[in-house]
């Protein structure tokens, strides 16, 4: 998972920040701050992360979002509020440490999902790092977030599959 560090002069709008590092898909093109409102409205609501898949998943462990093993995210619940780009994520997998956190998110017009995990009690404007993932397969009832990782010098994609909960 590519972690990005945000450099902000105007901290109130996290998606107006410049990324100090980027994913492969944005290396040649600067990160756009223009939002894809129709996509954001499409994922408004409650979702369950139903699967995490990537080549070699039987042998390779991926630490997702610098929080937990990727398999701990299966069954996690996510709430996305599109009018203020806030929400929550909750991990409840039986053999993993439970975790709940507010999030701040957006989808830009490059099809990138920008995610900040906000520690409870911290203002999102004070969180200076986040994650970039590609949005794919967006429909009324499902979508995927795709991360690009480096495994032994090779680029692999980690796909997080979401299903609508309501």
For the chain, 166 residues long, give each residue's pLDDT as a single digit of tens: 444 443 332 222 222 222 233 333 445 578 888 999 999 999 999 999 999 998 877 778 888 999 999 999 999 999 999 999 999 999 999 999 999 999 999 999 999 999 999 987 887 778 878 999 999 999 999 999 999 988 888 888 999 999 999 7
Looking at the whole model, is its pTM more than 0.75?
A: yes
Give the torsion through C-alpha atoms of 85, 135, 100, 67, to 10 deg: -130
């Amino acid at each position: 998972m590519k972690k990005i560090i945000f450099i902000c002069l105007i901290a109130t709008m996290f998606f107006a920040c410049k990324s100090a590092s980027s994913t492969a898909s944005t290396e040649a093109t600067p990160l756009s701050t223009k939002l894809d409102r129709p996509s954001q409205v499409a994922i408004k609501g409650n979702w369950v992360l139903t699967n995490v898949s990537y080549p070699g998943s039987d042998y390779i462990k991926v630490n997702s979002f610098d929080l937990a093993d990727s398999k701990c995210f299966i069954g996690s619940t996510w709430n996305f509020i599109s009018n203020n780009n806030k929400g929550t994520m909750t991990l409840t997998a039986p053999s993993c440490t439970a975790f709940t956190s507010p999030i701040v998110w957006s989808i830009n017009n490059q099809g990138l999902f920008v995610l900040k995990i906000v520690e409870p009690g911290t203002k999102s404007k004070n969180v200076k790092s986040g994650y970039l993932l590609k949005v794919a397969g967006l429909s009324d009832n499902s979508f995927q977030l795709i991360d690009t990782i480096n495994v032994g010098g090779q680029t692999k994609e980690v796909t997080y599959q979401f299903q609508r909960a309501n």
